[in-house]
Amino acid sequence: MVIGSLNMDLVVNVEDFPKQGETVLASDTLFVPGGKGANQALAISLLGGQVSMIGRVGQDAFGRALKENLQKNNVDVTYTYIDERRNSGLAFISVGKNGDNRIIVSPGANSLLSPEDIEALEEVIAKAKGVVLQLEIPLATVERAVEIASKHNVKVFLDPAPAQVLSRSLLSKVDFIFPNENEAMELTGVEIYDLETAKTAAAKLLEMGCQQVLLKLGAKGVLFARENYYHHFPGFEVEVVDTTAAGDAFCAGFVLSYLEHQELAGAITYANAAGALTSTRLGAQSSLPTREEVLNLLDKCKKRVVLK
């Protein structure tokens, strides 16, 4: 079960990001279905999982397209509601020549997903193997979802983006948290520039109440941390085109592999491969890999994990 955001991404390529007061020319605009929640739901489906999406879109062309795109890719959209009060969420994404990106999100209907919506779906959530959340919906809604999932012993996976202050009560109920370097710095105040400083940030997250941390380090891979244990998993060497949704693919790959097998090392390796493949293509949902593509990359790199 994914509870989160659905956005239409407006993507442009630029040679250089504009400085304050500067105008730059970009390529044609691409309209690509996105939103961290929808990205993760679609990624789980493409990787072979059964997944439902809880969220809200506007009663507009973007909203219809976002919902239809998930549905045609075998994501259950029974609980993806169309809301007349706000337009669909939008993300404005500029992609640089090295594949780095800058993103501005206008939440739209995502901001109307309420704690009451989640409470009404308690019986549905209780039947899930895992619940995946991000922070592009109201924090009160995230908190209520975590409470309900924890109450029913459903595994909770949190992608803390965009970063904001999170309570110990919330963090202590999350089984796995997936910050990238910037989000970890925002959460902990620790500047990350190498593995040692990443370890310091991860340790701080554990002190703040997190149970298990997967700190995403981009091309450098992932640092896994839990009490008194740290391990670095290197990334895959690929030609980067656009890093948009790479973190979402990582999250989806880990969640699915872990829930299938309860085996950490294999799940992290699988997730690293999913994230790496996503960064080789332009866009969000259009760049997400299939199960077969991930397995092919693992085989090519002689990194095998056990999968059904």
Which active-site residues does the annotation give?
248
Copy the structure tokens of residue 281.
Answer: 């293509």
- Cα–Cα distance, 305 to 164 (Å, whole number): 34
* Of 180, 162, 308, the residue nearest 251 (C-alpha): 180
Q: Cα–Cα distances in Å, from 42 out to 12, 22, 35, 37, 197? A: 22, 36, 11, 9, 33
How close are the terminal C-alpha atoms of the chain, in Å?
20
Tell me the residue length of the chain: 308
Q: How many C-beta atoms lie closer than 10 Å to residue 231's C-beta?
A: 12
- Cα–Cα distance, 147 to 232 (Å, whole number): 31
Sign of CA dihedral 97, 252, 42, 293: positive
Q: Is 18 within 8 Å of 96 (Cβ atoms)?
A: no
Please give the single-letter amino acid code of residue 11. Answer: V
Q: Is 88 within 8 Å of 6 (Cβ atoms)?
A: yes
